[in-house]
Amino acid sequence: MNVLEKANAIKNGELTALENVNNYIKVIDEKNPSINAFIEINKENAINKAKEIDEKISNGEEVGQLAGIVFGIKANINVEDYTISAASKTLEDYIGSYDATVIKRIKAEDGIIIGINNMDEFAAGSSTETSYYGVCNNPAAPGRITGGSSGGGAASIAAGMCDIALGSDTGGSIRNPSSHCGVEGFKPTYGLVSRQGLLDLSMSLDQIGPISGDVTGLTLALDTIAGYDPEECTTLNNELPNFTEIAVNTKGMELPLKGMKIAKVKEFTEVTDDKINEVVDKAIDKLVSLGAELVELNFDYIDICLPTYYLINYVEFFSATRKYDGREYASRIEETCGEEVLRRIEIGSYISQQEYSGKFYKKALQARSLIRNQINEMLEDVDLIVGPTVPKLPHKIGTKLEPMEMYAYDVLTVIANLAGIPAASIKAGEVEGIPVGLQLQAKPEDDEKIIQAISAFEL
């Protein structure tokens, strides 16, 4: 049963919201101690909300489109009365005093929040090993990292602990763990979803998005959280499609991708392990069999993507963390944070100094424009760019990597954030039992084309 079918079953009385919640509580009790996908759970609140929804349904009252659907929320998105720590000791005592816009919209549609997902500290990582609350174990490849920084969300979906997880993606933080855990993750067009209430890592790159086990989980979430927010200046005020209708209608077509042109990029395969490329190529062949036309393109700037991304990230992260000075609601971050967070703060501070900002940060912004312009040019003649999500398999937990080795996980995902385009990762297959992701990228505000391709791929 996919998420849409479950939502309909709850509304039709074939399944109760309480049964759905209790089923997940049982799985969480059994699996979370070893996986550590959730760092805070509120069973009582979820049960009470489920009972309210069931009572409404039994009385014939109208309920929202997410009635009875269970969510996990990344620990950097504000949820009232939950500990919103960003998985850091710095914020271990911070209790959310309000709901982020995306949370208000989920609650308004009767979605049920069961708990807070683990993550890399302040979203600064690609493995969910930097969390103050401990490493997150990959349910799809035990003993290996989940990826990050939304590793807890991806793990909670892979382990069957909730219907949908909400994450944030700055340079691949939804798509990277979705690839490693064998689930589906979607980073919307920059500005499609409000970031009001998100503890930002890099304001010009961050975007909130969903993780789920099937396309209807992604679409139900998008249909709820996407849209203009007058409280958030980057949100787009445009008419949006019904993503769930697109997903459902696509499944009824004989050749659902007929007329769609997709592109492989030579440079993306060159930086990726051969075994991953073999699996991804088979997934691309499947898209072709569903009617898509395949072409090959070249991308000139693969070598500058990571340094461009991290230079911007360092400066914006340093700026964002100045409010954690120990005077209001947090400890002084430099005194309580982990090694990777401190590294980014120190480098960001260095680059932000007047004599260096022009040399590094402004050059990074110029490089970002080159990357964005070429990606947009590539997408003028094709509907989707398809290829590997992550260039290498997840390492075993505890493996010591140098910073640049860890950053290398992000080389194919940072591009979408630098360009502001939508991107998703779905399971392409496995290499030696370890999930491998297929990444799909589209031009800005063509999010529905990615949804169409995911829905077709699931047939």
Of the residues 173, 194, 425, 455, which is catalytic? 173
Compute the C-alpha angle 180/267/451, nearest 5°.
50
Of the residues 149, 178, 179, 425, which is catalytic? 149
Could you tell me the two tokens for 324?
């954690």
Q: What is the CA radius of gyration of the chain?
A: 21
Q: How far apart are CA 188 and CA 442, in angstroms?
A: 10
Q: How far apart are CA 80 and CA 75, in angstroms?
A: 12
Place of tokens 């939502």: 7
Does residue 187 have an active-site annotation? no
Is the distance from CB of 426 to CB of 437 less than 8 angstroms? yes
Does residue 425 have an active-site annotation? no
Task: Give the DSSP H/E element, type plus range, for residue 128.
Answer: none
Q: How far apart are CA 250 and CA 287, in angstroms?
A: 13
Does residue 149 have an active-site annotation? yes
Nearest to 206 by CA among 86, 325, 41: 86
Cβ partners under 8 Å of residue 211, min gap 6: 150, 153, 154, 157, 164, 165, 166, 167, 174, 177, 178, 183, 184, 185, 186, 218
Of the residues 6, 11, 31, 74, which is catalytic? 74
Helix axis angle, 302-320 to 363-378, nearest 10°:
130
Q: How far apart are CA 280 and CA 302, in angstroms?
A: 19
What are the residue numbers of the active site? 74, 149, 173
